[in-house]
C-alpha cells in the first residue's frame, strides 16, 4: 500500500497535500525577498469524516477557515472534521521539517472544499488563501506562507510576499544538471520558536538585522535570476553566500539556525564544489545540498552519515494538493 493509500474510508473525497523543501529565501522572505520552494513526494493525506473531532489545532483552524470561506456551500456539510495522516512527513515518530503543518492544513482545507463540491483542480487560489490564513493563525501569526504555497501548487515555485500585498507565486524549472540531496539531523525544531528568536533580535538590534538582511535579499534575488537563466554555477555561489548569511543571523540572534553538524555538512559540500545549507527555519531539521555534478552529489550523500546526518529519500512533486479516489479496503488511523 502506498503512502497516499492508507488510513482512509469509503465515502468522502480523499486529498493528498505534499510537503516542501526550501532552496533559498528562509527568513528573508519575511522581509520581502523571494523564496524558491519545491513540493516533495512525501505528503499528508486528508479526508472529511462526519462526527470526527479535529486531532490538532492546525486541523481545527483549517476546517474552521474552510467552512467560513465557502459561504452557503458549508450548510450542506455534516458536522465533523478532517482525519489527516501525516506520518509520511515524519521519521521514527519525529517530524522531518518538510512542512508537515502546512501540508496538514492544506489537506484539511482541500478535503472540506472537495466535499462541498468545490474541486481543488479549479479552486487552488481559494485553497491557498484559506490554508495560508489558517496556518498563520495556528502558528500565532508566524510564517511566510511559502510552505503552504508549495503544498497547494506543487512543483518548483518562486514565492514572494510583498509588504501589505497578496502573495505572488511563479512556477519555475530546475536546470537539468542541478542535483539535490535532502538530509536531516533528526532533531525536530520549532519553526515558530526560531522565527520568534529572530524577531526578538530585530527588536533588540534593528540596525544589525538590516545589515544582515540586505545581502540575504540580494543573494535570494540573484539565485532566482540565475535559476531562470539556468546558470548552475552562479546559483551555487548565491546559495553559498546565503548559507553564510544564515549562519551570521543565527549567531547574532542566538538561535541554532545552523547547527554544528550542518556547519560540517556545509564545509563538506564546499570541498566537493557544492553547497549545503538549512532548508527552512533551521535548528537541525531539514538541510539541502545543491550540486552541479552528479558524482559530487553522490559522494556528499555517502559521507553524510559520518557526520551523524541522515539522507531523506524524496523526489520533487509536480502535482500539488489533489484529490484521489478512496481505496476501498483502507481503515482510519486511530
What is the residue extent of each domain of the chain?
A: 14-173+317-324, 179-311
In percent, the amount of the chain with pLDDT more than 90 equals: 79
Collect contacts of 205-212 with beta carbons under 8 A, ≥24 apart.
205/252, 208/252, 209/252, 212/245, 212/248, 212/249, 212/252
Residue 158 pLDDT: 98
Non-local (6+) Cβ contacts of 315 within 8 A are 40, 41
CATH 3.30.300.20 describes domain 14-173+317-324: no
Nearest Cα residue to 245 out of 305, 311, 179, 198: 198
Q: How far apart are CA 178 and CA 168, in angstroms?
A: 25
Q: What does residue 267 show for φ and ψ, rounded to 5 degrees?
A: -65, -40
Q: How far apart are CA 276 and CA 183, in angstroms?
A: 10
Average pLDDT value over all residues in the chain: 91
pLDDT in tens, 280-328: 888 888 999 999 999 999 999 999 999 999 999 999 999 999 998 655 4
Cell of 239: 546559495
Q: How far apart are CA 143 and CA 164, in angstroms?
A: 15
The beta-strand segments (E) located in the chain are 14-24, 35-50, 80-85, 90-91, 94-95, 156-160, 168-172, 179-184, 275-278, 286-291, 310-311, 322-324
The beta-strand segments (E) located in 268-321 are 275-278, 286-291, 310-311
Residue 9 pLDDT: 59
Cell of 215: 545581502
The CATH number given to 179-311 is 3.30.70.890
Q: With a threshold of 0.85, does the pTM exceed it?
A: yes
CA distance to 8, 74, 103, 277, 325, per residue, from 330 (Å)? 5, 27, 21, 39, 12
Q: Quick one: pLDDT band at residue 207, thresholds 50, 70, 90?
A: very high
Residue 1 pLDDT: 33
The beta-strand segments (E) located in 64-145 are 80-85, 90-91, 94-95
Amino acid at each position: 500500500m502506498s503512502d497516499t493509500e492508507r488510513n482512509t474510508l469509503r465515502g468522502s473525497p480523499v486529498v493528498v497535500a505534499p510537503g516542501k523543501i526550501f532552496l533559498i529565501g528562509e527568513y528573508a522572505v519575511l522581509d520581502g525577498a523571494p523564496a524558491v520552494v519545491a513540493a516533495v513526494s512525501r505528503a499528508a493525506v486528508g479526508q472529511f469524516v462526519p462526527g470526527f473531532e479535529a486531532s490538532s489545532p492546525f486541523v481545527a483552524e483549517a476546517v474552521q477557515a474552510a467552512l467560513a470561506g465557502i459561504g452557503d456551500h458549508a450548510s450542506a456539510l455534516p458536522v465533523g472534521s478532517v482525519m489527516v495522516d501525516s506520518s509520511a512527513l515524519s521519521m521514527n515518530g519525529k517530524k522531518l521539517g518538510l512542512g508537515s503543518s502546512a501540508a496538514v492544513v492544506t489537506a484539511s482545507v482541500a478535503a472540506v472544499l472537495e466535499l462541498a463540491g468545490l474541486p481543488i483542480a479549479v479552486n487552488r487560489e481559494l485553497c491557498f488563501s484559506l490554508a495560508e490564513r489558517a496556518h498563520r493563525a495556528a502558528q500565532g501569526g508566524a510564517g511566510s506562507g511559502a510552505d503552504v504555497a508549495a503544498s497547494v501548487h506543487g512543483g518548483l515555485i518562486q514565492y514572494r510576499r510583498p509588504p501589505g500585498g497578496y502573495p505572488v507565486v511563479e512556477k519555475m524549472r530546475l536546470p537539468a544538471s542541478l542535483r539535490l540531496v535532502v538530509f536531516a539531523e533528526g532533531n525536530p525544531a520549532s519553526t515558530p520558536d526560531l522565527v520568534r528568536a529572530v524577531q526578538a533580535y530585530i527588536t533588540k538590534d534593528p540596525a544589525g538585522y538590516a545589515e544582515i538582511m540586505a545581502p540575504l535579499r540580494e543573494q535570494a534575488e540573484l539565485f532566482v535570476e540565475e535559476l531562470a537563466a539556468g546558470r548552475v554555477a552562479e546559483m551555487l555561489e548565491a546559495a553559498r553566500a546565503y548559507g553564510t548569511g544564515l549562519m551570521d543571523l543565527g549567531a547574532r540572534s542566538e538561535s541554532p539556525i545552523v547547527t554544528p553538524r550542518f556547519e560540517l555538512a556545509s564545509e563538506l559540500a564546499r570541498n566537493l564544489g557544492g553547497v549545503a545549507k538549512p532548508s527552512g527555519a533551521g535548528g537541525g531539521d531539514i538541510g539541502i545540498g545543491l550540486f552541479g555534478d552528479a558524482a559530487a552529489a553522490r559522494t556528499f550523500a555517502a559521507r553524510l552519515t559520518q557526520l551523524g546526518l541522515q539522507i531523506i529519500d524524496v523526489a520533487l512533486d509536480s502535482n500539488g494538493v489533489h484529490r484521489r479516489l478512496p481505496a476501498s479496503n483502507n481503515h482510519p488511523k486511530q
